[in-house]
Structure 1
Amino acid sequence: MTSDTIIAEAISSAGLPGATAMIVDRDSVRFSGAWGEADAIARTPMKLDTICQIASMTKALVSIAAMQLVEQGKLTLDGPIGDVLPELANPQVLTGFGEDGKPQLRAAARPITLRHLLTHTSGLGYFFVHPEVLQYFAATAMPAPGTKASITMPLMFDPGDKWEYSVGTDWVGLAVEAASGMTLGDYLSQYILGPLGMKDTAFRPQLPEDAAKVHTRQPGGGWAHSPMNLGGGEFNSGGGGLSSTAPDYGKFLQMILRGGELNGNRIVSEETIAEMSRNQIGNLRAGYMGSAMPDLAPPFDAMPDQHTGWGLGFMINPDPVAGGRSAGSLAWAGIFNSYYWIDPEAGIAGVFISQLSPFGDAGALEAFSALEKMAYA
C-alpha cells in the first residue's frame, strides 16, 4: 500500500471532509498530499495550497517571535511582563464567587512573566476550557469574541503554580507589538514568514472564497459550516488567528528541526531553539484540557499515558511513542483538528490540517497517528 493510499484510507475511515498533510526532514519534503474536500457541501476539492485556519498552531510562531525579541534584549523572560503590558501589571487571583454571584479576588503572590505566558503557567485560562472563566465573564460582562476584553480576566492561581491552557500567547503577541512597535501581523511577515517563504500564512479578517470551510457533523449525517473565523477581531490573535497551508507550516517545522535556520535565513539562534525545546515547568504536567464548552472542545488529553512537559511554546513528551516520535519531541494542535509534531532527535516533523469542529475528533486523531507512523515506518 502506498503512503498516499494509507492516509487517504485513514481520512476516509475517519469520515473527515478533507485534509492536507506533510512530512519533512531537515533538508527535504518526504511526503505531502491533499484529500477530500475543502467544502463538503459545495463539493470543492481540498488542495495542498488550500488556505485553512491553523488556530492554536499560531502559538508556536508567536513564541518564536517573542524569543527573537528576547535575543535582542527588547523583552525579558523573567522580568514582570507588566512593564511591557500595563494590563497585566497588577494581577488578581479569582478565589470564588459571593452569594450575590460577584467574583471574589485577591492580589497575586508574584508578577506574571513572559516565561509564564509562554508556558501556560500564568494563571490565565480560556473561556471554552475553564468554567470559572465563563462564570466570571457571565458575572461581569460577556465580552465579544476577538476583543481584548475576551482575554482580560483574573488569574485562576498564582503565576508559576500550575499548568492550564490559556490566552497567554495572545498576550505574548501583544507584548511583541509593544516591544517592536509593529502590529503582530506585520512583525511576523517581516521577521518570520517572509524569511521562511511562508507566503500563504497571514491574519485574515476575511477568508478567501476558496479557503476551506470549518465543518460540523450533522446528527442525521451530512455537514454544516461553522462561521468561525479566528483571524478577525480588534487585535491579531497570537493565540490562534493565523490561516496557512501545510507546505507553509512544513517550512516552519523544518526551521525548528534545523536549529532556527532555513535556506540561509537564521530566524533565532540554536541556543534559543534548545531552550524552547527544554521542559520549563518542572514536575507540573501539561497537555490536559478540561471543557466549559464541549460543543467546541470536549475534555482532551494530548498524551494520557505520559507526564508531558512544556517548553517555551510547545508540549514535550518525555518518553518515546511506539512506532512514532522520539522522547523530547515538540507538538501541539489547532482547535479545528490540526496537529503537528517536531522530532529533533530523528530529524523528522509532520503536520496534519483538517477543518472540523469540535476539537479532538477521534477520526482526525487516528488519521494524524497514521501519518506519524508512516513517517517512521
Structure 2
Amino acid sequence: MGTAFEEAINKAVDEKVIAGAAVVAVDKSGILGTTKYAKAFGTTSLGKGGKPFQIDSTMWLASCTKISTAVSCMQCVERGLLSLDDPIGKILPEWTTPEILTGFDENEKPILKKATKTLTLRHLLTHSSGMGYPAFNPLLQRYLKAMGKPVGFPQGAIKDDLMLPLLFEPGEGWEYGGSIDWAGQMVERVNGGIRLGQYMKKHIFEPLGMKYTTFRPSEHPGVQERFIGRPFRTPDGKVIPDAPDVGMYPVREADDDYGGAGLYSCAEDYIKIVASLLVDDGKLLKSESIDELFRPQLPDTNYIQAVMDVPEAAQFLAPSFGTGVKWNYALGGAVAVDGVEERADKGMMYWAGLPNSYWWIDRRRGICGVYATQFFPPGDHPTQKLFTQFQKDVYAMAG
C-alpha cells in the first residue's frame, strides 16, 4: 500500500479527527499481496475502554447490508423461487394494489391514486419502485404526520414501519428507500418463512466463512464483544465519543431482519462477499447471475442523475465522489458508468452505509475494497477524504 493513505489516517487518529477504521482490498491478480491488503488503524472508541481497532472489529453495516440481500434474491431467482419481473404481489399480497401519494388536500389529508404499472423485484433492487425513506423525503414525512405516526428510525415490523404509499409509478423515477427491506421479505416468504438472517447464514455467511456477521448481535457473543463505539462530529467540528440519539441508528434490535440496513459485521467478513463477486468463485452465484447483478438496469438515467447531481444528496448517497460522476443503478448497487478518474474503471459498482462505511467492486480492473468504520453523521467529510485516498492508493499499487 502506498504511504499517502496510511500517513493521512494515522494523522487523523493522532489528532482524534476519527477514532479508527479497518480497510481491506483484494486484487484479482494478487499484486496487493498473496490475496489482499488488510489493515486497521486507531481505536474502537474515543471514550474510556477503547481498544486497538482490528479488521474483525464489528459495527452496524447499515446500507452496506443491501448487497447481501441482492445476492440472496438472485440465489432465489436461480432456484426458481423468485422472478425479477413478476408482480411482487404474488409473494407480498400487501403490495397487490399499491397506491401513489400525489399530494394533500386543504385539510392535509393525503391524496392517493392506484398505481397502474406492475411493481417487480427488479424495481425493488434498483430503487425504481417508488418506495422512499420517510427520513429523507418531506412528502412521506407529511404523510406520516397526517396519519398520526412518528417519523423515526424503522426498527419495528417491516409491514408496519415501511408500508407506505409509492411516490411515483414503478419504473418512472428513482428514490432511495426501503424497497430492499421488502425484497428481503420476499426471500423469507419463499423459503418457508425463515428469518432473512437464517437464510443468509446458510447460503452466504457459512459458505464464505464469515464468523462475525448477523442481524442479531444479542444471539452472537463474538459480535457483541468486538463491537466498536459510535463517535459523532458536531457541526462545529468537535468529536464526541457517542452519537446522540437523533434517529440515525438502531437503538435496539429490529423486530424483523431488515435486508436494506440491518446487518452487523466486520471488514474481515464483509470483504469476502465483495471478493467472491469479483473473482466469480461460484460460492454465491452463477456467472450469468453475477453479470446481471452488475448490469446497469435503469433505461433512463435522468432520474438517478438528477438526485446524484444535488450536492446535499451526493454527500449522502455518493459520499467522496461528489457530483459530476455519471451514474446508473444495478441490482447490486450504484454503477459509475464512465468510471472515476484515479479511482475506478467503467462499470465500477459501489455503495455505502450511513455510518460512513464503503465498498466497491471494479470488475474491469479486478479490484474490490472495503472501508469499515462507525462514525456519525453520515457523509462525514474527513472520513470521505480518507476513503478517497485509500481507493486511490489501491489503484496506484495495482498499477
Same fold (TM over 0.5): yes
3-state SS, counterpart of residue 72 of structure 2 = helix
User: Which residue is equivalent to 1:213?
Assistant: 229
What amino acid does structure 1 have at the position aligned with 2:19? Answer: P
Are 2:350 and 1:338 aligned? no
User: Which range moves more in the overlay, 237-246 or 197-206?
Assistant: 197-206
Residue range with higher mean Cα deviation, 313-322 or 155-164 = 313-322
Identity of aligned residues (%): 34
Secondary structure (helix, strand or coil) at the match of 1:240 reads coil
Instruction: Tell me, yes or no, if structure 1 residue 240 matches structure 2 residue 261.
Output: yes
Pair 1:146 & 2:155 matched = yes
Tell me, in whole angstroms, the C-alpha distance in 2 between the residues paired with 1:283 and 1:2.
Answer: 41
Q: Is the 8 A contact 1:130 1:290 kept in 2?
A: no
Asked if residue 166 in structure 1 is aligned to residue 182 in structure 2, the reply is no
1:40 alignment partner, one of 35, 41, 46 = 46
Question: Which residue in 1 is equivalent to 2:104?
Answer: 97
Q: Who is 1:117 aligned against?
A: 124
Q: Which stretch has the larger CA shift, 297-306 or 152-161?
A: 297-306
Q: Deviations over 1:267-319 (max 9, x none)?
A: 1110001011111001224373699xx9x997554541122000112100011
Task: Output the CA distance in 1 between the equivalents of 2:328 and 2:12.
Answer: 29
Change in Cα spacing, 1:110 to 1:177, as seen in structure 2 (3 Å) is: same
Segments of 4+ moved more than 6 angstroms: none
- Residues 142-184 of structure 1: per-residue CA shift (max 9 Å, x gap): 2563122221100000000011111010001000001112210
> Residue 391 of structure 2 aligns with which residue?
372
Report the equivalent of 2:339. 320
Compute the displacement of 1:115 (Å): 0.3
- Which AA in structure 2 matches 1:120? H
SS in 1 for 2:296: coil
- Conserved in 2, the CA contact under 8 Å of 1:216 and 1:358? yes
Amino acid at match of 1:213: G
Deviates more, 1:241-250 or 1:282-291: 282-291
1:355-366 matches, within 5 Å, as 355-366=374-385
Q: Does 1:257 align with 2:278?
A: yes
What is the CA-CA distance between 1:111 and the residue it aligns to? Answer: 2.1
Most deviating of 201-210 and 304-313? 201-210
Of 140, 154, 176 in structure 1, the residue corresponding to residue 187 of structure 2 is: 176
Q: Which residue of 1 aligns with 2:214?
A: 202
Equivalent residues of 1:41, 1:224 under 8 A apart: yes
SS in 2 for 1:367: helix
Q: Distance in 2 between matches of 1:290 and 1:332?
A: 16
Q: Is residue 318–residue 351 contact of structure 2 (8 Å, CA) maintained in 1?
A: no
Q: Is the 8 A contact 1:48 1:245 kept in 2?
A: yes
Task: Give the corresponding residue for 2:203.
Answer: 191
**Which residue does the alignment assign to 2:6?**
5
Alpha-carbon separation, structure 1, partners of 2:296 and 2:224: 38
Q: Which moved more, 1:8-17 or 1:189-198?
A: 8-17
Relative to its length, the structure with more helix (as a share) is 2
CA change 1:10–1:55 in 2 (3 A) is: farther
- Encode CA deviations 1:228-249: one digit per residue, 9 max, x unaligned: 3377211001001101111111
CA positional deviation for 1:212: 0.9
Decide whether the 8 Å contact of 1:129 with 1:297 is kept in 2. no
Distance 1:188 1:76 in 2: 19
User: Paired residue for 1:127?
Assistant: 134
Of 20, 23, 28, the residue aligned with 1:21 is: 23
CA contact 1:119–1:310 (8 Å) conserved in 2: yes
Deviation at 1:3, TM superposition (A): 6.7
Question: Is this contact kept in 1: 2:5–2:389, CA < 8 A?
Answer: no
Give me the whole-angstrom Cα distance separating, in 2, the residues matched to 1:76 and 1:362.
40
Structure 2 letter corresponding to 1:282: P
Give matches, 1:297-316, under 5 Å.
300-302=317-319, 303=321, 304-316=323-335
Which residue in 2 is equivalent to 1:108?
Answer: 115
Q: Taking structure 1 as reference, are residues 362 and 281 closer, same or farther at Cα in structure 2, changes over 3 Å only? A: same
Structure 1 or 2: more strand by fraction: 1
Gaps of 5+ in 1: none
- CA separation of 1:316 and 1:290: change in aligned 2, threshold 3 A: closer
Q: Which letter does structure 1 place at the counterpart of 2:233?
A: R
3-state secondary structure, aligned to 1:280 = coil
TM-score computed with the length of structure 2 as normaliser? 0.87
Which moves more between the two structures, 208-217 or 236-245? 208-217
Is 1:349 aligned to 2:368, yes or no? yes
Q: Which residue of 1 aligns with 2:242?
A: 225
Please give the alpha-carbon distance, in whole angstroms, between the structure 2 residues aligned to 1:136 and 1:55: 25
8 Å CA contact 2:20, 2:43 repeated in 1 = yes
Structure 2's unaligned 5+ residue stretches are none
> TM-score w.r.t. structure 1 length?
0.91
Deviation digits for residues 313-360 of structure 1, max 9, x if unmatched? Answer: 210001122212111011000000001110001111111011111111
- What is the alpha-carbon distance in structure 2 between the residues aligned to residue 103 and residue 350 of structure 1? 44
* One-letter amino acid matched to 1:215: P
